[in-house]
Structure 1
Amino acid sequence: MSEIVTKQENQALHIIFNRPERLNAVNEALYQQTLDALNRAAEDPSVRCVVISGNGRAFCAGADMKAHKSGVRTREDREAYIVLGQQVCERIQTISKPVVAVVHGYAVGGGAEIATSADFLIIAEDAQLGFPELAIGTYVGGGVTLRLPRLIGLRHASNLLMLGDRISGAKCLEIGLATESPPAEQLQERTSALVKRIVKNAPIPMARLKAAINVQPSAETVFQTETDGVLAMMETKDWAEGVAAFAERRSPRFEGK
């Protein structure tokens, strides 16, 4: 089964995460298929907008921790996985077409990074978004160390990234992270209305405007710094403990090693 489903409706390409049995947790295949779909959208003049959503009970529950815990990955395997995740978020941020993330259930870790990367975020008012990376001994990605403070301010970003608290869709709207936060049953209706507004605009100036407002000093450096950070954490005993504790549904016991 494909890890994503794609469909085109009314000049919008819909990329739908399709691992509902794992709450759409990300793995290499999901990242690669999403990246491929984004690249196709970038080259297709009939696509004016990209919409990213998830099948099942959640948008995306982040990294597939069971996959991390099973087997032994080489440093090269780990780096390839991290780089794929970074490439997906970077592509969302730099593709010339506007990207809308539609979140229900959960957007956690890698899922929150993808949602944050989008130009527009429509999140159900009862959905949960969070960055739990530090609490499980790993590190953030997706350019959030640069992008999140720009979106919501340094103080809110510090609280989200350093404390790892989950916040509701309603709170996302309150602090400026979300574009809209409707009741869950109105997500599709509100998304359709937003997409109709987006695709009415001229695509060439839209592409130029997106590039202009997303100019970020040292963005390439930030993505590389995050990649190095995630990879370094994955080599620590605390990272292994965080993965094991998550799988075993217990609190991790970090030793600073």
Structure 2
Amino acid sequence: MTAAVISRNDGAIAWVKLNRPERLNAMDRQLVDELAEALVRAEADEAIRVVILHGEGRAFCSGDDLKDLDAQTSSEAATQAWVEAIQNITLQIMQSRKIVIAAVHGWCVGGALEWAINCDFRLFADNTRWFFPEVSYGLFVTGGVTALLTKQVGPQVAKELMILGERHDARKAVEVGIAWKLVPEAELLDEARKLALKIAERPTGAVSDIKHAINEGFHSSLAEAMSLETKATVSGFLSPEARARAKEF
């Protein structure tokens, strides 16, 4: 059986590649399960600081594999398990102590777009095309985007993107804040690597703590946010590495 996800380590970087190019890397159960396993391995490896998620062939990921959908939704229990498997990827990305970069090219659709939004940095190639098809099918979005995207782009734009489900280009992704940066397709992975190396230069604990605090801040009150900040700041002040860096600066 051909691997649906291929991962390799390069120093502090784990490259995790979706690998069903003949289906534009569409999501079936094998791909979702293998992606979860790759993220678990990266999380457990202390040498890894950054994960770069990208796609083989002509697309990042074209969303649910509709040819495989009947098998995943054959019963209520099967459907529940499928949706929970997809949602688990969101939890893995957002709760990870690693920084996760999405390097997106070609089609990025539905659940794959939601996974990209879950990532800490999103680099879009200039040939990226993206949309939310779920509501047009009478389905629903995943990845926590009803909260995450609404807080990023505002309720009006979030409703436009999810309810109308229109197809958009890479420039629109930058305009609304879904993409962090737009780069030529030929330079996408090199730009992702440069960003990953820059992140890896920062102190491990401080980077992980700030990611956790920011992600939790989407949902927390001021008091909860300040509590997280206090805990992380105290930890930073007590870190020999942080103290040494501060004195050097």
Q: Return the TM-score normalized by structure 1.
A: 0.81
- 2:26 counterpart residue number: 25
Instruction: Describe the shift of the 1:207–1:71 C-alpha distance in structure 2 as closer, same or farther (beyond 3 A).
Output: closer
8 Å contact from structure 1 (residues 126, 170) kept in 2: no
8 Å contact from structure 1 (residues 124, 170) kept in 2: no
How much has 1:71 moved relative to structure 2?
Answer: 8.8
Q: What is the distance in 2 between the residues matched to 1:71 and 1:90?
A: 20
- 1:80 counterpart residue number: 81
Q: What is the distance in 1 between the residues matched to 2:197 and 2:154?
A: 30
What are the residue-to-residue correspondences of 1:56-95 with 2, within 5 Å? 56-69=57-70, 73-95=74-96
1:50 aligns to 2:86 (yes or no)? no
Q: Specify every segment of 5 or more residues in structure 2 that has no aligned partner in the other structure, as ranges.
A: 221-249
* SS of residue paired to 1:46: coil
Q: Give 2:22's aligned amino acid.
A: E
Aligned-residue sequence identity (percent) comes to 33
1:101-141, CA deviations, whole angstroms, 9 ceiling, x for partnerless residues?
01100110011011111000001122111111011121110
Instruction: Describe the shift of the 1:165–1:203 C-alpha distance in structure 2 as closer, same or farther (beyond 3 A).
Output: same
Instruction: Describe the shift of the 1:175–1:125 C-alpha distance in structure 2 as closer, same or farther (beyond 3 A).
Output: same
Query: What is the root-mean-square deviation in Å for CA atoms of aligned residues?
Result: 1.4
Q: Which has the larger radius of gyration?
A: 2
1:55-97, CA deviations, whole angstroms, 9 ceiling, x for partnerless residues?
0110000001011146971211111111000000121111111
* Bigger relative CO (Cα 8 Å, ≥ 6 apart): 1
- 2:234 counterpart residue number: none
Instruction: Describe the shift of the 1:154–1:116 C-alpha distance in structure 2 as closer, same or farther (beyond 3 A).
Output: same
Q: What is the distance in 1 between the residues matched to 2:73 and 2:166?
A: 30
* SS of residue paired to 1:8: strand
How much has 1:217 moved relative to structure 2?
Answer: 2.4
Q: What is the distance in 2 between the residues matched to 1:184 and 1:40?
A: 28
- 1:238 counterpart residue number: none
Q: What is the distance in 2 between the residues matched to 1:116 and 1:70?
A: 27
Q: Aligned residues, how many?
A: 218
- 2:123 counterpart residue number: 122
Q: What is the distance in 2 between the residues matched to 1:105 and 1:42?
A: 27
- 1:251 counterpart residue number: none
Q: What is the distance in 2 between the residues matched to 1:138 and 1:209?
A: 34
Q: Return the TM-score normalized by structure 2.
A: 0.84
- 2:226 counterpart residue number: none
